């Protein structure tokens, strides 16, 4: 039986939804499922870890693990993977996952794949699917090792409703570390704006908004919806928004329930960051704009006319 170890995604003491999504996929392929949770004062999360679908919970709880540092985190994952006998080790899509996954793979002498969107097992043979060349193609990769460490692309798997596991807690000791650099403090974005990666709704603005007044108009729509506010690279390069708001190949990858692309053409590099969204709504005055090829709902029109109407309609709901 395949054994999947999922690395719990914990942010500011809260277990993120990707853990249940990954457990659901693990169960769907008939695997035994364990989770490894790493941090400080995280034992209170054990019920959440069980409810997210794990049957064994490896807990590395130590003050030295409060702030993410790839080396110690990787050591904890390797420890749990060895104890569990995992042949698949999955990280949710996050900066910390991307930083720790290759270290874990190197220590286990395992294959490593990032941004996977699917995984299949045929006996011991593992195959994964991942996008390549800015999403122009999907690669199917046959893994030639017994173990695979993978970072799963945001939104690739869905959580099964009512998923649950069983409590079987195994405590891990804090890793011995001899770090050349120690992270002392994490300074978070002080703007108070919703993090794009966590947002259930994302509204993004493109060059069609023309200037700051246009950007502010679209931002008001985002505020009405309590949505994350993103942008195409054109608006970042134009100096209208900070780089951490860029959605796309060289920006953030998001997979919200609803993505609204306002005045964005739909260049392949932008699509690479948002085409995993569950529902896509696009507003563009050009009916031939490529964004309409991926949109579930399209409004052909001038955003300066459409956005105020959308705001009015949303207020009525």
Residue numbers in the known binding site are 207, 232-233, 246-250, 263-270, 284
Kindly report the number of other CB atoms within 10 A of residue 219's CB atom. Answer: 19
Which of 207, 220, 223, 224 is close enough to bind ligand FAD by CB under 6 A? 207
Closer CB to ligand FAD, 174 or 294, in the complex: 294
Based on CB atoms, which residue is closest to ligand FAD, 98 or 285?
Answer: 285
Nearer to ligand FAD, 36 or 241 (CB): 241
- Contacts with ligand FAD by CB under 6 A: the residue count is 27
Span 288-307, contacts to ligand FAD by CB under 6 A: 289, 302-304
Residue nearest to ligand FAD (CB): 248
- 216 in contact with ligand FAD (CB under 6 A): no
Q: Find the shortest distance in angstroms from Cβ 237 to ligand FAD.
A: 8
Binding-site entries for FAD? 207, 232-233, 246-250, 263-270, 284
For the record, the structure tokens of 134 come out as 């800015």
Q: Indicate whether 234 belongs to the interface with ligand FAD (CB under 6 A).
A: yes
- The least CB distance from residue 90 to ligand FAD, in Å, is 25
As measured in angstroms, the least distance from the Cβ of 221 to ligand FAD is 13
Residue 131 contacts ligand FAD per CB under 6 A: no
Name which of residues 245 to 284 contact ligand FAD (CB under 6 A): 246-251, 263-265, 267, 269-270, 273, 283-284
Q: Contact positions toward ligand FAD, by CB under 6 A?
A: 206-208, 232-234, 246-251, 263-265, 267, 269-270, 273, 283-286, 289, 302-304
């Amino acid at each position: 039986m395949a054994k999947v170890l999922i690395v719990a995604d914990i942010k500011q003491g809260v277990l993120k939804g990707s853990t249940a999504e990954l457990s659901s996929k693990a169960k769907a392929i008939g695997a035994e499922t364990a989770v490894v949770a790493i941090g400080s004062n995280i034992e209170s999360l054990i019920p959440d870890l069980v409810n997210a679908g794990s049957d064994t919970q490896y807990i590395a709880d130590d003050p030295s693990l409060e702030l993410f540092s790839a080396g110690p985190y990787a050591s904890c994952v390797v420890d749990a993977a060895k104890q569990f006998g995992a042949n698949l080790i999955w990280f949710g899509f996050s900066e910390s996952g991307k930083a720790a996954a290759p270290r874990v793979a190197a220590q286990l002498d395992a294959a490593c794949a990032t941004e996977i969107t699917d995984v299949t097992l045929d006996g011991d043979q593992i195959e994964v699917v991942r996008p390549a060349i800015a999403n122009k193609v999907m690669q199917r990769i046959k893994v030639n090792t017994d173990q695979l460490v993978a970072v799963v692309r945001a939104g690739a798997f869905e959580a099964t409703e009512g998923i649950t596991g069983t409590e079987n807690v195994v405590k891990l000791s804090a890793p011995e570390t001899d770090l050349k650099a120690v992270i002392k403090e994490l300074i978070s974005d002080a703007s108070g704006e919703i993090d794009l990666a966590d947002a259930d709704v994302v509204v993004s603005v493109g060059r069609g908004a023309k200037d700051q007044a246009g950007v502010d108009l679209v931002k008001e729509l985002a505020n009405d919806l309590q949505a994350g506010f993103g942008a195409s690279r054109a608006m970042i390069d134009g100096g209208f928004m900070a780089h951490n708001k860029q959605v796309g190949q060289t920006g953030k990858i998001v997979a919200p329930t609803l993505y609204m692309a306002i005045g964005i053409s739909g260049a392949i590099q932008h699509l690479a960051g948002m085409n995993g969204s569950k529902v896509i709504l696009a507003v563009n005055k050009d009916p031939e704009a490529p964004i309409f090829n991926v949109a579930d709902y399209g409004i052909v029109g001038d955003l300066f006319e459409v956005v105020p109407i959308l705001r009015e309609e949303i207020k009525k709901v």
